[in-house]
Structure 1
Amino acid sequence: MVRTYDEAVAWIHGRLRLGMKPGLKRMEWMMEKLGHPERRVRAVHIGGTNGKGSTVAYLRSILQAAGYSVGTFTSPYVEQFNERISINGEPISDQEIVELVQVIQPLADELEKTELGGPTEFEVITAMMLYYFGKQNVQDIVLVEVGLGGRLDSTNVIYPLVSVITNVSYDHMNILGDTLAQIAAEKAGIIKPGVPLVTAVKEPEAWEVIAKTAAERKAKLYRLGVDFTVTDWKTTAEGEQFSLATPFAEYRDVRIQMPGAHQVDNAAVAVMAAELLRLGYSFLIDPEHIADGLAAAAWPGRFEQVSGNPLIILDGAHNEAGIRALVETVRAHYPDKRVHVLFAALTDKPLERMIEPLDELADTITFTTFDFPRAAAAEDLAALSSHPHKAVVGDWTAWIDGKKKEAGSDDLLLITGSLYFISEARKLLKKHTKR
């Protein structure tokens, strides 16, 4: 039995040896043993390829502005492991992690002896979260981010008040499928009978699957651009400004501080979800809560400016759609900057399709690697680039230090790729850089 925080986290991470095992049988077994804590969690379930974390941040901020206590379950973490399970943006304590592992570890050992096999790392963390919010510290609402896919994701044991699918694009194709229709079918697995669904899915192939599944399950569907619409959108020095019309209200000239057209979509989806909580479940959310919540929302590692002099931006663009959104945002907000890209990624990503847009954006592009099991070699990444000013570095910390010294007022250092890499870079920059 674990006694300390370090032992608890080491035990959790030790479950990585089991890899990914899609399916709900092990989760259902643990929920039964725990007395079904998931049934006591009032949740919004948030899936999609990109934008899940940002949508959680917007919706949490709106609900907090309205005075609610909000639990969140997100992944991966950026600064510390505990942040995966948070209340009002504050990670739970080290002692609470220890206590949760002490509850779940004996179950994992018992489950390992059955034909189902032991639970994976993500299943263990999900079980910890559901036990925490269902039994130990019940919240007004819990925002649960899907880990991977949806249909067979361990979070899919919940029955939420509202479901959200932000978007569908190519990612984790080795698990979810080779076509948008196949990927959408996995994402659509979180749609529950009679539970309203909010989505910003645009691609016709994916939309057809989402709409068909929602109709079969009699889930009322709210689609961005059809059922709720953004107007008067403009980029500002502080982020974005736009107006939003839902079937129930209109919000004029609201502002967000996270830049990019994709963030406008995420914010609009969060507002629509908040509207459904207000109308369907009597959450007391006023227009000023919407405006204040959107304005205050932030999410680390998403187009995050960590230094102003020199200008350094971190963005966890970890798939093709994320990279393309990043490139559009840089061009919209910093059209006159010389862009110096530092990029690291995981091997199971569509690397060539990610690097091509960066090649077109960057004045220089540098490839590196980092200490992570699936991290791609810097040389392999560089081989996929056609940029005339490409480079490879082993010590990315030295690259950052050097660029910080030589960068001028016209330079932008853009550090992007895997969220795991962004987490490491952020720790370094937050330690040494003052804005």
Structure 2
Amino acid sequence: MTYLQAIAWLESLQMFGAKPGLERMQRLVDAAGHPERHLRFIHVAGTNGKGSTCAMLESIYRRTGLKVGLFTSPHLVAFAERIQINRQLIAADDVARLTAQLRPLVADLSATDPPTFFEVVTLMALVYFAERRCDLVIWETGLGGRLDATNIVTPLASVITNIHYDHEKWLGHTLPQIAAEKAGIIKPGIPVIVAPNPPEVLDVFRQRAAALKAPLMVVSPGDPHDVLAHQIQLPLLGEHQRANAATAIATVHTLMPVLPVYRQHLVTGLETVHWPGRMQRVRQGPQEFILDGAHNPGGVEALCATLQRLYPSLKPAFIVGVLRDKNWQQMLATLRQHACRMLLVTVGSERAATAEELRAGCGPDDPACPVSCHPSLALALQAARGEPQVVICGSLYLVGEAMELLHLESTPKNGQERSLNEWGGNPPPPAFPTPT
């Protein structure tokens, strides 16, 4: 099997959408000989910040000399971003080889309830990390936590970052309901580290941790972890990244008896962390571009707060594209308050809200912030050529496309692999009881 054939087969699995539940994943690891039993994990869930927190943890532990696997989603440009060891992307030959190895196994299990794309990629990552004998795997959830395919592991620690409104159709319409789904990664007796969150969210985590006798550490502003996070020269911008760093520091301290880390490794790891597409600033000629993956109201609020702090007297132009299943009306309302103009595009996804739909949701015309629609990101970039600062946000899909158009990342050899991020399906059954 060639790499292109492997990617084509993986893409064919998207027809099965997203199907919450652990039964298929359990059958997959059973058939594969349980590669997860040969690995140690830090399992990370949350609404916003989980990818950045994963990147921070990976950078810290790699500095100690460990071989560290990193599993995240979605990818920005190339499929291989999802599966890395010591920040080296999985090679095309390994993707082809593992796909050929796993395809018969998947076929045997597909008669009644075919595995999804994400489940198969999760298995691929487990097999790859076990083959390479990783010392530690930083393991990010895909959607939610309780019924996410990644939840078949028993980690060294469970980490939960910021909880905000996103994927409400799947996770619930209140913060406690969403928190309950994320709390599904908490395991009996396994320590859990939680980022700063609203009281009603923390109540859910405290109850769940207490029920499972899982030691709980809640990071809070001004505690030693937060103080250290504010002393470090963090390359990821924004106060929300300080909260993520504090959560990573708390995790490292919690696991110190199992995974010793010198302070120098912790500091250097955080000071050298790399996580593209998050307040990523790029200067090209007279223009500065800022790429940020903010794709829900909480992410947009954090983006705008960071812009206001860094550029208090400047209103940038925003190029925005959003998926239809997001609360894009609230996102656009927030962005418009900070923009000199809005250029709307349709994200390259079957789930995208069209530029015209977004325009209709912007409300009445405002000469102080004109709004325009553009058939593509490339044309929006052309229209914004005269702007000194351009912020591209609203979807990680859009950020990935921008990275290619701005030549920050090379296009995969088979063309675009961003389509592999597509998913659909039916919402999960209700979570365990939570406070209202």
TM norm structure 1: 0.90
> What CA distance in whole angstroms lies between the structure 1 residues aligned with 2:341 and 2:111?
53
Counterpart of 1:186, as a letter, is E
Report the equivalent of 2:111: 113
Partner SS state of residue 198, structure 1: strand
Counterpart of 1:321, as a letter, is G
Aligned counterpart in structure 2 of residue 15 of structure 1, from 13, 19, 29: 13
Report the equivalent of 2:123: 127
CA shift in 2, pair 1:431/1:163, >3 Å: closer
CA shift in 2, pair 1:432/1:125, >3 Å: closer
- Equivalent runs, 1:23-34 vs 2, <5 Å: 23-34=21-32
Report the equivalent of 1:254: 232
Distance apart, 1:230 and its partner CA: 5.6
- Equivalent runs, 1:236-275 vs 2, <5 Å: 243-244=227-228, 253-275=231-253
Counterpart of 1:292, as a letter, is T
Partner SS state of residue 338, structure 1: coil
Counterpart of 2:348, as a letter, is D
Runs (5+) with no aligned partner, structure 2: 411-436
Is the 1:306–1:430 contact (alpha carbons within 8 Å) kept by the matching residues of 2?
Answer: no
Is the 1:56–1:143 contact (alpha carbons within 8 Å) kept by the matching residues of 2?
Answer: yes
Deviations 1:370-394 (A, max 9, x none): 3211111000011111361111111
TM norm structure 2: 0.90
Partner SS state of residue 255, structure 1: coil
Deviations 1:13-54 (A, max 9, x none): 111111110000000001111111111110000000010110
> What CA distance in whole angstroms lies between the structure 1 residues aligned with 2:376 and 2:48?
29
Distance apart, 1:226 and its partner CA: 7.1
RMSD of aligned alpha carbons:
1.7
User: Comparing both chains, which one has the higher relative contact order based on Cα–Cα distances under 8 Å and sequence gaps of 6 or more?
Assistant: 2
CA shift in 2, pair 1:4/1:169, >3 Å: same
Partner SS state of residue 341, structure 1: strand
Report the equivalent of 1:35: 33
Deviations 1:121-142 (A, max 9, x none): 10010011111112x1121100
CA shift in 2, pair 1:347/1:40, >3 Å: same
Is the 1:306–1:429 contact (alpha carbons within 8 Å) kept by the matching residues of 2?
Answer: no
Distance apart, 1:229 and its partner CA: 4.3
CA shift in 2, pair 1:56/1:432, >3 Å: closer
Partner SS state of residue 278, structure 1: coil
> What CA distance in whole angstroms lies between the structure 1 residues aligned with 2:87 and 2:35?
22
> What CA distance in whole angstroms lies between the structure 1 residues aligned with 2:9 and 2:398?
22
Give identity over the alignment, percent: 40
Aligned counterpart in structure 2 of residue 349 of structure 1, from 326, 332, 336: 326
Is the 2:25–2:149 contact (alpha carbons within 8 Å) kept by the matching residues of 1?
Answer: yes
The answer as to 2:256 corresponding to 1:278 is yes
Is the 1:44–1:142 contact (alpha carbons within 8 Å) kept by the matching residues of 2?
Answer: yes
Q: What is the aligned residue count?
A: 405
Larger relative strand fraction? 1
Partner SS state of residue 75, structure 1: coil
Partner SS state of residue 112, structure 1: coil
> What CA distance in whole angstroms lies between the structure 2 residues aligned with 1:171 and 1:402?
31
Report the equivalent of 2:264: 288
- Equivalent runs, 1:25-424 vs 2, <5 Å: 25-114=23-112, 117-134=113-130, 136-225=131-220, 228-229=223-224, 243-244=227-228, 253-279=231-257, 281=258, 283-307=259-283, 309-386=286-363, 388=366, 389-404=370-385, 406-407=386-387, 411-424=388-401
Partner SS state of residue 250, structure 2: helix
Runs (5+) with no aligned partner, structure 1: 232-242, 245-250
- The 4+ residue runs of structure 1 with deviation greater than 3 A are 226-231
Counterpart of 1:25, as a letter, is E
